[in-house]
Amino acid sequence: MALKITHDCINCDVCEPVCPNQAIYQGVDIYEIDPSRCTECVGHFDKPQCQIVCPVACIPLDPDHEETQQQLLEKYQRLTGAQ
Protein backbone atom coordinates (compact mmCIF):
# COMPACT_ATOMS: atom_id res chain seq x y z
CA MET A 1 0.00 0.00 0.00
CA ALA A 2 1.37 3.39 -0.87
CA LEU A 3 1.32 6.23 1.61
CA LYS A 4 -0.47 9.56 1.26
CA ILE A 5 -0.06 12.99 2.80
CA THR A 6 -3.16 14.48 4.38
CA HIS A 7 -4.19 18.12 4.54
CA ASP A 8 -2.73 18.27 8.05
CA CYS A 9 0.62 18.75 6.24
CA ILE A 10 2.39 21.93 7.33
CA ASN A 11 4.82 22.01 4.38
CA CYS A 12 7.83 21.69 6.66
CA ASP A 13 9.97 20.21 3.85
CA VAL A 14 11.41 17.30 5.88
CA CYS A 15 9.73 14.39 4.09
CA GLU A 16 10.77 15.05 0.51
CA PRO A 17 14.54 14.66 0.93
CA VAL A 18 14.29 11.42 2.95
CA CYS A 19 12.25 9.56 0.33
CA PRO A 20 14.59 7.05 -1.37
CA ASN A 21 12.25 6.67 -4.36
CA GLN A 22 11.69 10.39 -4.99
CA ALA A 23 7.96 9.73 -4.62
CA ILE A 24 7.29 12.90 -2.62
CA TYR A 25 6.87 16.22 -4.39
CA GLN A 26 5.43 19.67 -3.70
CA GLY A 27 1.82 19.77 -4.83
CA VAL A 28 -0.37 22.83 -5.25
CA ASP A 29 -1.13 23.24 -1.53
CA ILE A 30 0.80 20.50 0.28
CA TYR A 31 3.35 17.80 -0.40
CA GLU A 32 2.02 14.78 -2.25
CA ILE A 33 3.14 11.19 -2.81
CA ASP A 34 3.23 9.51 -6.22
CA PRO A 35 1.80 6.03 -5.51
CA SER A 36 3.58 4.59 -8.53
CA ARG A 37 6.93 5.40 -6.85
CA CYS A 38 6.06 4.80 -3.17
CA THR A 39 7.23 1.47 -1.79
CA GLU A 40 6.79 2.42 1.90
CA CYS A 41 10.61 2.26 1.84
CA VAL A 42 10.50 -1.52 1.27
CA GLY A 43 13.91 -2.50 -0.06
CA HIS A 44 15.55 0.56 1.47
CA PHE A 45 14.55 0.78 5.15
CA ASP A 46 12.49 -1.14 7.73
CA LYS A 47 10.06 1.75 8.19
CA PRO A 48 8.82 4.55 5.92
CA GLN A 49 11.25 7.40 6.45
CA CYS A 50 8.70 10.11 5.71
CA GLN A 51 6.49 8.86 8.56
CA ILE A 52 9.46 8.87 10.93
CA VAL A 53 10.48 12.48 10.24
CA CYS A 54 6.98 13.99 9.89
CA PRO A 55 6.36 16.28 12.90
CA VAL A 56 2.56 16.22 12.55
CA ALA A 57 1.99 12.52 11.68
CA CYS A 58 0.07 13.31 8.49
CA ILE A 59 1.31 10.39 6.35
CA PRO A 60 -1.00 7.38 6.72
CA LEU A 61 -1.43 4.37 4.46
CA ASP A 62 -3.47 5.14 1.35
CA PRO A 63 -6.42 2.72 1.18
CA ASP A 64 -6.88 3.62 -2.49
CA HIS A 65 -3.52 2.03 -3.32
CA GLU A 66 -3.39 -1.33 -1.52
CA GLU A 67 -0.32 -3.46 -2.20
CA THR A 68 1.21 -6.52 -0.58
CA GLN A 69 4.77 -6.61 0.72
CA GLN A 70 5.66 -8.68 -2.36
CA GLN A 71 4.15 -6.07 -4.70
CA LEU A 72 6.06 -3.31 -2.88
CA LEU A 73 9.28 -5.30 -3.22
CA GLU A 74 8.64 -5.83 -6.93
CA LYS A 75 8.02 -2.10 -7.35
CA TYR A 76 11.29 -1.39 -5.52
CA GLN A 77 13.12 -3.79 -7.86
CA ARG A 78 11.55 -2.18 -10.93
CA LEU A 79 12.42 1.34 -9.75
CA THR A 80 16.00 0.56 -8.78
CA GLY A 81 16.91 -2.20 -11.21
CA ALA A 82 17.75 -4.43 -8.23
CA GLN A 83 17.14 -8.16 -8.44
Instruction: Please give the single-letter amino acid code of residue 26.
Output: Q
pLDDT tens for residues 57-66? 999 999 999 9
Cβ 24 vs Cβ 82: under 8 Å: no
Tally of domains in the chain: 1
The whole-model pTM stands at: 0.92
pLDDT at 83: 67
Residue 2 lies in a domain: no
Residue 9 lies in a domain: no
Q: What is the mean pLDDT of residues 39-52?
A: 97
Residue 38 lies in a domain: yes
More confident residue, 1 or 81: 81
Residue 51 lies in a domain: yes
Domain that holds residue 65: 16-80
Q: What is the mean pLDDT of residues 10-33?
A: 97
pLDDT at 1: 78
Q: Over 80: is that where the pLDDT of 22 sits?
A: yes
For every residue of 8-66, DSSP letters joined together read T----S-SGGG-TT--EEE-SSSEEE-TTT--TTTTT-SS-HHHHH-TT----B-TTS-
57: domain CATH number is 3.30.70.20
Residue 31 lies in a domain: yes
